[in-house]
Amino acid sequence: MKTKTGIVVSAKMDKTIVVKVVSSKAHPKYKKMVRTAKKFYADDPEKKFHEGDEVTIYETRPLSKLKCWTVVPSKK
């Protein structure tokens, strides 16, 4: 199961959040570390995450046109 960790940048949609994941990798020629960011749409059925929260998401079957990730439930 693929997982990613990122920051919630938008929680305005119903049962959907947008998570920004930042990763680093070396440039193929110059070997300098380059940071890249990508946004993922994730399912949040309980609507308990808000902007600024750090969340872990995992890959699922496609739930809509853009949404194929789900938030990992917290263990509390």
> For the chain, what are the domain ranges?
3-71
CATH architecture of 3-71: Beta Barrel (2.40)
pLDDT, tens only, 33-43? 999 999 999 99
pLDDT beyond 60 at 17: yes
DSSP sequence for the chain: --EEEEEEEEEEETTEEEEEEEEEEE-TTT--EEEEEEEEEEE-TT----TT-EEEEEE-S--SSSEEEEEPPP--
Which among 25, 26, 55 has a CA at the least distance from the CA of 40? Answer: 55
Entry pTM: 0.88
Return mean pLDDT, the chain: 94
